[in-house]
Amino acid sequence: MEHYSMNLNLKVWRQKNNSEKGGFKMYRVENISSEMSFLEMFDVLNEQLVHGGEEPIAFDHDCREGICGTCSMYINGKPHGPWQANTTCQLHMRAFKDGDTIVVEPWRAGAFPVIKDLMVDRSAFDRIIQAGGYISVNTGNAVDGNAIPIAKDKADASFAAAMCIGCGACVAACKNSSAMLFLSAKVSHLALLPQGEPERKSRVLDMVAQMDKEGFGACTNTGACEATCPKEISLSNIARLNQEYLVASLTANK
């Protein structure tokens, strides 16, 4: 497809900090290339704002390669925008047409308070991982990969779960702000491997307890999380999490 350039209207959420009320502001950007990434388009807008003496829009980004999970923008009512299995940084402007109005908001969830503009505080996810997302390892050289045989289907399922980049889109998409898809990915990738066995029960109990403490909502199986996840984390992980939790609650010596 031919490259093209477009003029766009942007309706962007601006909020000074967590205690002040935010609101939408309209901006106009011109001559945006269809091959720019969404974040590059925001860079252009921010330069424009700085030149005009206005404060640039705060937004999170790091890798711009779809792997760090920081680029949290709610674009036209969808976390990470209109493309399937995609992050905001990998969204390109060819997803839009000349003259479009694009609405951009931060993730909306009580457990992810807005820091400024489009930046939210996702440290609740860090605390959930700290509660149990680790394994015990002996010091010394790493064990040879072939020394621990793992069935192919288990290795594949574990790897698929480990793809979660902790972006929080699942929480933002869920009407209950549930973190179950994220947590199920983190629990599954370790529960499926022999290396995760020693802390298998305490891990799931501690991580679920931390999730509840952070104020995420309950899962009612609407599937909005799976549909929006940039890494296509499967709902089947939530079924595994529930099973892991049940077995651990019935049998753990805690």
Which chain residues interact with ligand FES by CB under 6 A? 61-64, 66-71, 87-89
CB-based contact 41:140 (threshold 8 Å): no
Q: What's the closest the beta carbon of residue 93 comes to ligand FES, in angstroms?
A: 15
Q: Residue 182: which of ligand FES, ligand SF4, none does it interact with, CB under 5 to 8 A by kind?
A: ligand SF4
CB-based contact 181:229 (threshold 8 Å): yes
Q: Taking CB under 6 A as the rule, does residue 170 contact ligand SF4?
A: yes
CA proximity to 127, closest of 221, 238, 210 = 210
Contact range with ligand SF4 by CB under 6 A, out of 6-14, 38-46, 47-55, 165-173: 165-173
Query: Strand order in 78-79's β-sheet?
Result: 23-33, 5-14, 101-105, 74-75, 78-79
Q: Taking CB under 6 A as the rule, does residue 81 contact ligand SF4?
A: no
Q: What's the closest the beta carbon of residue 40 comes to ligand FES, in angstroms?
A: 12
Q: What's the closest the beta carbon of residue 85 comes to ligand SF4, in angstroms?
A: 10
Q: What's the closest the beta carbon of residue 64 comes to ligand FES, in angstroms?
A: 5
Contact with ligand SF4 (CB under 6 A) among 45, 111, 120, 165: 165
H or E stretch at 29: strand 23-33
Identify the bridge partners of residue 78 per DSSP, sorted by sequence position: 75
Which residue, 39 or 181, is less far from ligand SF4 as judged by CB? 181
> Helix (H, G, I), strand (E, B), or coil: what is residue 250?
helix
CB-based contact 59:73 (threshold 8 Å): yes
